[in-house]
């Protein structure tokens, strides 16, 4: 399993601060190790990028904003269903070094690429970055996956805020930013992880860490 950032640094991201003109800030102690600081900085950038896009809309026929394709790395399609494109763009722009490919490898299933929302689950498991919803382990900058690979009825978004229980060991609520939800980028209210969904019949199955 890939080493995760120190939990104390991930207690909460105050995403609402952006609405007051400030970037989200860490509410608890900063991590000490250089690697942890670097990873936290990237997570913070993912959150900042995602929040700035709230309200962006697609044109007719899934023509989402061009910059998500331009900066999203090789293989990004446009027009396309773009929830996975949005997550890939935020991770790429923030500097996440290893991400799901946006095109299938030669001979691989067409489902095995980042446009397919539940491929993020498959990729996360294969790379030691998957956190099942029941574990309630999540950090800002994680991708949240709704559905199971290889389901077609699925969705993927970004976690921008996490609330933990009093012990600081288990997450209880998350706030997300999600692309291609109602054809735009949306900012959710703080929602309990138990029962987290992207629609009545589309439950969250877990989270994918960028590290």
Average of per-residue pLDDT across 188-211: 96
Residue 180: how many other CB atoms lie within 10 Å: 23
Q: What is the pLDDT of residues 54-97, one digit of tens each?
A: 999 999 999 999 999 999 988 999 999 999 999 999 999 999 99
Query: Taking a C-beta distance cutoff of 8 angstroms, is the pair 190, 163 a contact?
Result: yes
Cα dihedral value 35, 141, 146, 98, nearest 10: -50
> How much is the pTM?
0.86
Torsion 177-179-184-185 (CA) sign: positive
Please give the pLDDT value at position 33: 61
- Is 4 a residue whose pLDDT tops 90? no
- Is 25 a residue whose pLDDT tops 70? no
Residues of the chain above pLDDT 90, percent: 80
Q: What is the pLDDT of residues 133-156, one digit of tens each?
A: 999 999 999 999 999 999 999 999
- Decide: residue 52, CB within 10 A, 0-12 exposed, 13-18 middle, 19+ buried: middle
Query: Taking a C-beta distance cutoff of 8 angstroms, is the pair 90, 160 a contact?
Result: no
Q: What is the pLDDT of residues 27-47, one digit of tens each?
A: 333 444 677 999 999 999 999
Where does the pLDDT of residue 2 fall: very low under 50, low under 70, confident under 90, or very high at 90 and above? very low
Average of per-residue pLDDT across 159-173: 95
Torsion 12-15-203-61 (CA) sign: negative
Average of per-residue pLDDT across 104-122: 97
3-state helix, strand, coil in the chain (%, to 5): 25, 20, 55
């Amino acid at each position: 399993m890939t080493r995760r950032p120190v939990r104390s640094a991930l207690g909460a991201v105050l995403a609402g601060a952006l609405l007051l003109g400030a970037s989200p800030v860490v509410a608890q102690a900063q991590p000490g190790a250089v690697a942890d600081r670097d990873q936290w900085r990237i997570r913070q950038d993912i959150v900042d990028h995602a929040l700035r896009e709230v309200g962006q809309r697609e044109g007719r026929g899934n023509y989402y904003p061009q910059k998500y394709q331009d900066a999203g790395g090789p293989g990004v399609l446009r027009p396309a269903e773009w929830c996975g494109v949005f997550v890939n763009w935020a991770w790429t722009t923030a500097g996440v070094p290893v991400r799901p490919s946006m095109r299938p490898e030669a001979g691989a299933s067409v489902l095995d690429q980042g446009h397919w929302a539940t491929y993020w689950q498959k990729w996360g498991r294969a790379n030691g970055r998957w956190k099942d919803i029941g574990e309630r382990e999540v950090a800002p900058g994680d991708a949240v996956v709704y559905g199971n690979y290889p389901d077609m009825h699925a969705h993927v978004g970004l976690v921008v805020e996490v609330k933990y229980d009093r012990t600081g060991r288990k997450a209880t609520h998350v706030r997300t930013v999600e692309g291609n939800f109602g054809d735009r980028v949306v900012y959710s209210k703080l929602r309990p992880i138990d029962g987290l969904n992207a629609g009545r019949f589309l439950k969250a199955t877990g989270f994918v860490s960028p590290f």
